[in-house]
Structure 1
Amino acid sequence: MGTFIQLVVDGLATGSVYAALALAIVLVNQATGLINFAQGGMAVLSAYLAYSFLQLGFPLLLAILVAVVLSFLLGAAVERLLIRRFERGDPDTAIVVTIGLLTLVTGICGWLWSYNNLQFPSPFPLSSVDVFGAVVSVRSLGTFLATIVIMVLLQLLFLRTKLGLALRAVADNPVSAAFSGLPVGRLLMVGWGFAAALGAIAGSLVAPQLSLTPGMLDQALVYALAAVILGGLDSPIGAVVAAWLIGVLENLAAVYVPFIGHDLKIAVPFLLIFVILVVRPQGLFGRKVVARV
């Protein structure tokens, strides 16, 4: 029983890493209707910015805060100068552009800061606590709680604020939103800015656990995309729950399913995607899209 609880707790901690990135992907999709494959690279770049401010003598929380603000401006600039040229065209073209942006950002990080592992300090203590017989690091617990707070704030943003409703309207139908008087271009910039700022927070939470490298979030991005598909592209809660589910199930499968083991546990989220898409194509918490004909 103790092993089971430990696997579940570790899975929730790992899933929180995926969830932090998945929330940023959901935010971009809700604001622009696109899936941003460059989200992981932008989060890593933000973590490197925070690391640079730390080297200049900034306190940790201030360094992260400054990186969040700069990331917001960077995300807005990327949307205005690059993504906007492709938003009105074929969605597949815009997706390819984000993949190219991921490669570019990763290369820039390697060029400026090298590909060596860098130690990024954690905003949480490095001690551990006992939870139902399982050993949990305070750092993992802090990431878990921070993910919950961000999830709730995003859900409130999209469902309870005028800005969130405006972002969703622009993503669903930018033409109708423009006729309604909404500043479509400005809202798209704000959406990308918020996603980049959220990525900065995610990068700062993940970097102490994985060590800071240009490819730090490459594997996490795969799991985050799986969580977004499983949970629903329009549901922050769904993305987080799916990320936790992936983290827990792959841990349990690695130990309790002999033919999977640790080598094949990466197949678990893809098996979940297959099952969920067959049973519920819009995801666990996603909305059905009804098109008038």
Structure 2
Amino acid sequence: MEKFVQLVVDGLSTGSVYAALALAIVLVHSATGLVNFAQGGMAVLAAYVAWVLTNQGVPLILAILASIIFSFLLGAVLERFLMRRFERGDPDTAVVVTIGLLTLITGIAGWLWGYNNQQFPSLFPLDTVSVLGVSVSIRSLGTTLVIVVAMVAMQALFAGTKLGLALRAVAINPQSAGYSGLPVERLLMVGWGLAAVLGAVAGALVAPQLTLTPGMLDSALVYALAAVILGGLTSPVGVVVAAWLIGVLENLAAVYVGFIGFDLKVAVPFILIFVVLIVRPQGLFGRKTVVRV
């Protein structure tokens, strides 16, 4: 029983890493209607900014705050000068642009700082606590708590604030939102900026666990996209729950399902996606989209 609980706890910790990126993807989609594949690269770039500042003697908290400000400006600039050219065109073209942007950002990070693993300081102590015979990392608890706070904040933003409602209106129908007097272009910049902020938080949480490299979030991005599909593109709570579910089931399948093991556990989220898309295409917590024709 202790082994089972330990696997669940470790899975929740891993799932929190996926959830951090998934929330950023949902935020961009909720604000612009696009899926941003470059989110992982932007998070890595923010982590490198914080790492450079800490190496210059800046306290970690201040370095992360600076990287968050940098990320907001980066997201807003990318939307204004790059993505705006594609947002009102074919959505598939815009998605391809974000994939190219991911490749570009990863290449720039590697060119500037190399591809060697760098140690990133942790926000939380590396100690563990024992609860009912299960060892729990304080860093994992801290990461999970930050993700829960981010999830609640996002849910509150889109459900109970004028800014969130305006962002949703722009994502659904920017032309009608403009006719209603909403500053569409400014709101699109804010949406990308806020998503980049979430990415910066994700990078700061993940880098101490994975070590900092230009491609450290490549695999996590795949799991984050799986969580988005499972949880639903319209539900911050849904993608966090889905990310936790992926992390837990992946761990349990690796240990208790003999033919999967640790080599094939990467297939677990894709099996879940296949099942969910058949039963509930909008995701476990997503809303059906009604289109008038």
Query: TM-score, normalised to structure 2's length?
Result: 0.99
Deviation string, structure 1 residues 107-136 (Cα, Å, up to 9, x no partner): 000011110000000010110011332111
Q: C-alpha root-mean-square deviation of aligned residues, in Å? A: 0.5
Deviation at 1:292, TM superposition (A): 1.6
Q: Would you say 1:97 and 2:93 are equivalent positions?
A: no
Deviation at 1:291, TM superposition (A): 1.3
Q: Name 2:178's counterpart in structure 1.
A: 178
How many residues are aligned here? 293
Q: Would you say 1:280 and 2:280 are equivalent positions?
A: yes
Q: Would you say 1:54 and 2:78 are equivalent positions?
A: no
Deviation at 1:88, TM superposition (A): 0.9
Q: Distance in 2 between matches of 1:259 and 1:104?
A: 38
Contact 1:5 1:133 in 2 (8 A): no
Q: Would you say 1:269 and 2:269 are equivalent positions?
A: yes
Q: Name 1:249's counterpart in structure 2.
A: 249
Q: Name 1:234's counterpart in structure 2.
A: 234
Which aligned pairs between 1:101-250 and structure 2 lie closer than 5 A?
A: 101-250=101-250
Segments ≥4 residues shifted beyond 2 Å: none
Q: Distance in 2 between matches of 1:196 and 1:208?
A: 19
Q: Distance in 1 between matches of 2:231 and 2:130?
A: 30
Contact 1:5 1:132 in 2 (8 A): no
SS of the aligned residue for 1:129 comes to strand
Q: Distance in 2 between matches of 1:37 and 1:133?
A: 40
Q: Distance in 2 between matches of 1:165 and 1:88?
A: 20
Q: Distance in 2 between matches of 1:53 and 1:234?
A: 35
Q: Name 2:72's counterpart in structure 1.
A: 72
The one-letter amino acid paired with 1:139 is: R
Q: Distance in 2 between matches of 1:23 and 1:180?
A: 28
The one-letter amino acid paired with 2:152 is: V
Q: Distance in 1 between matches of 2:131 and 2:220?
A: 25
The one-letter amino acid paired with 2:270 is: F
Q: Distance in 2 between matches of 1:215 and 1:136?
A: 27
Q: Distance in 2 between matches of 1:123 and 1:206?
A: 10
Q: Distance in 2 between matches of 1:134 and 1:278?
A: 37
Deviation string, structure 1 residues 246-280 (Cα, Å, up to 9, x no partner): 00000000000000000000000000001111111
Q: Distance in 1 between matches of 2:229 and 2:132?
A: 32
Q: Name 1:9's counterpart in structure 2.
A: 9
Contact 1:120 1:207 in 2 (8 A): yes
Q: Distance in 2 between matches of 1:5 and 1:104?
A: 41
The one-letter amino acid paired with 1:290 is: V
Contact 1:31 1:188 in 2 (8 A): yes
Q: Distance in 1 between matches of 2:75 and 2:267?
A: 32
Q: Distance in 1 between matches of 2:130 and 2:43?
A: 31
Q: Name 1:258's counterpart in structure 2.
A: 258
Deviation string, structure 1 residues 24-74 (Cα, Å, up to 9, x no partner): 000000000000000000000000000011111110000000100011001
SS of the aligned residue for 1:266 comes to helix
